[in-house]
Amino acid sequence: MAKLKILKRSEDEETLRKVSREVTEITPRILTLLDDMVETMRDANGCGLAAVQVGVLRRIVVIETGEGLFEFINPQIIKKTGTQIGEEGCLSLPGEWAQVKRPACVTVRALNRKGEEIEVTGYDLLARAMCHELDHLDGILYIDKAEKRSN
């Protein structure tokens, strides 16, 4: 496994704003990317990372919020309920924080690393992380949805 360079908005905003492409085949390269993304996220003390944040424009996300590790390939939000407002930060915007309104409960459908379709329902922090990371796949940063900046 290898630690990857996390793109920063100050230097790499053009890439971070691009829409990621669907994964059409789960290859050994995709599996290595998943492993490297997990290592990179953990090393940076993050709870989520999208492939675009490491310069790969594919619809891949990893999330770990204390409820286990989730690896999503081609994720889609299929259900949202409730509302929560909370502080968010991002590995691509170090030192910045903002209050963001998100759903309180989110269900995501995706493929896992074996190519199997999975559905994961998350509440609170996991729901927030899923929304945040899936936004990255469409070139959206949390500051675009911020209600109040903390810095």
Number of domains into which the chain is organized: 1
Q: Does 72 map to a domain?
A: yes
User: CA 27, CA 91: separation in Å to the nearest integer?
Assistant: 26
Summarised one tens digit per residue, pLDDT across range 74-112 is 999 999 999 999 999 999 999 999 999 999 999 999 999
The residue ranges of the chain whose pLDDT is under 50 are none
Q: Are 104 and 84 in contact (CB under 8 A)?
A: yes
Q: Is residue 4 part of a domain?
A: no
Catalytic residues: 133
Question: Within a domain: residue 3?
Answer: no
The C-alpha R_g of the chain, in whole angstroms, comes to 14
Residue-range definition of the domain harbouring residue 48: 9-149
Residue 64 belongs to a domain: yes
Q: Which residue from 86, 98, 89, 3 is spatially nearest to 42, judged by alpha carbons? A: 3
The closest alpha carbon to 52, from 141, 130, 144, 128, belongs to 141
| Of the candidates 101, 20, 26, the residue with the CA atom closest to the CA atom of residue 55 | 20
Q: CA angle at residue 135 from 70 to 98, to 5 degrees?
A: 100
- Residues 79/109, Cβ–Cβ less than 8 Å: no
3-state secondary structure of 38: helix
Q: What is the CATH number for 20?
A: 3.90.45.10
Decide if 37 is inside a domain.
Answer: yes
> Does residue 2 belong to any structural domain of this protein?
no
Is residue 1 in a domain? no
84-88/98-102 β-pairing: antiparallel
DSSP string, 40-71: HHHHTT-SEEEGGGGT--BSEEEEESSS-EEE
Per-residue confidence (pLDDT) for residue 10, from 0 to 100? 87
